[in-house]
Amino acid sequence: MNKKLLAIVIGAAAAMPVMAMADVSVYGRAHISVDHLSVDNVETAPGVFDDYSEVNLSSNSSRLGFKGDHEINPNLKAFFQIEQQIDFGTDNGETLATRDTFVGLGGNFGSVRAGRFDSPFKAARGPANLFGDQVGDMRNLTRVGNARFDERYDNTIEYTTPDMSGFFGKLGYSLHETDVAGQDVDTNTLSMSLNYEGSAAEASLAYETADEDTGRGERNGVRFAGAYKITDAIKGVAFYQTVDYENDNVTQAVRDQLTSDTFGLGAEFKVASATAIKGMWLTREADADEFDSTLWVVGVEHKLDKAVRVYANYAMTSNDDNASRTPWGQARTADPAGAAGEDATGLTLGLRYDF
């Protein structure tokens, strides 16, 4: 944690009595894991290849945040959040507000917020996200290269509708200021989702489109994620995503590599009130030949109480000759490189403490 952030945290702690009066709360997550990660034929230097099989300590999207709200009148309230990534075990050199940070107004009309936060498209993977921020996270196949959509955009305005018998919608508009060929360019990303949350089912359908001048090329994506409680103990999940990538500054071969369909199925089985066994299969099929990857992950999670859980996962990606995906590359500090055409495996033991 850098000195600037430490000073802010100490100051916030000293102001706790005042913050409590203002309906402000401090929250966070400490999430670490010990991983054994393996992949063969990794290029360690130009033209030099070696097998990788090492134990890593990883901090996995750990964070510290402040949030609160203020009732203006019975039909209108103001709210805010400031959230910062905290990496246990290393200094990431970040400043405050690297994660979801916003201010907004809410009432009978729904809510409007502005700032930097997850797009509706990113949030839409939630119903099927059994292994979020862990070895085996689905983002290792859904968030690839310049065609990725799982983003937390700057300069975003988002409207969320009121709840309508479990249904609600989100509409986000992000403003990007970039420099293209020496010219200042104002471009945008539009992201939207239709969501449902019920006692037995949960689902999200999302669409996102980004202008070519946002810096990574024009891209369009559709995503569906769903979960259904078959019984009180068994939940099934399904996921589908299609991404179309266009960029006049790259070859057709690169566009084919980044244009893809990703889909999969998973399940969670509660063997006891606090213990669950989980598994998921996910595959990414690119338009380009020999760029497909498949992810398999199984795990067991035990909740020690409402705040603390421990888990163990085993995950593997199987790659075509030109693909080099790993099951550990997203939302974690431990991220060794993969190798084209080689399987990558990870065994992890994790601890997550929410406060």
Three-state secondary structure call for residue 334: coil
Where would I find the H helices in the chain?
3-14, 16-21, 120-123, 139-142, 252-258
Name the residue ranges covered by the structural domains of the chain: 3-354
pLDDT digit string (tens) for the chain, length 355 residues: 444 444 444 454 444 444 444 589 999 999 999 999 999 988 877 878 899 999 999 999 999 999 999 999 999 999 999 999 999 877 666 666 689 999 999 999 999 999 999 999 999 999 999 999 999 999 999 999 999 888 999 999 999 999 999 999 999 999 875 555 555 555 799 999 999 999 999 999 999 999 876 668 889 999 999 999 999 999 999 999 999 999 888 999 999 999 999 999 999 999 999 999 999 999 999 999 999 999 999 999 999 999 999 999 999 999 999 999 999 999 999 999 999 999 999 999 999 999 9
Instruction: Identify residue 212 by its one-letter amino acid code.
Output: E
Q: Where are the beta strands (DSSP E) in the chain?
A: 24-45, 48-59, 63-73, 76-85, 101-107, 110-118, 152-160, 167-180, 183-197, 201-210, 218-229, 234-246, 260-272, 275-286, 293-303, 308-319, 344-354
CB 326 within 8 A of CB 344: yes
pTM for this one?
0.88
Write down the residue that tokens 């020690």 correspond to: 304
Question: Distance (Å, rounded) from C-alpha 28 to C-alpha 118?
Answer: 17
Q: Which CATH architecture has domain 3-354?
A: Beta Barrel (2.40)
Could you tell me which residues are beta bridge partners of residue 245? 219
Q: How far apart are the first and last CA of the chain?
A: 18
Maximum distance among all Cα pairs of the chain, rounded to whole angstroms: 67
Phi, psi of 14 (to 5 degrees): -65, -25
CB 351 within 8 A of CB 88: no
HEC readout, 268-279:
EEEEECCEEEEE
Structural tokens at position 258: 């980044």
Question: Distance (Å, rounded) from C-alpha 351 to C-alpha 133?
Answer: 12
CB 76 within 8 A of CB 35: no
Dihedral angle at the C-alpha atoms of 326, 60, 118, 22, nearest 10 degrees?
180
Could you tell me whether strands 24-45 and 344-354 are parallel, antiparallel, or unpaired per DSSP bridges? Answer: antiparallel
Phi, psi of 315 (to 5 degrees): -135, 150
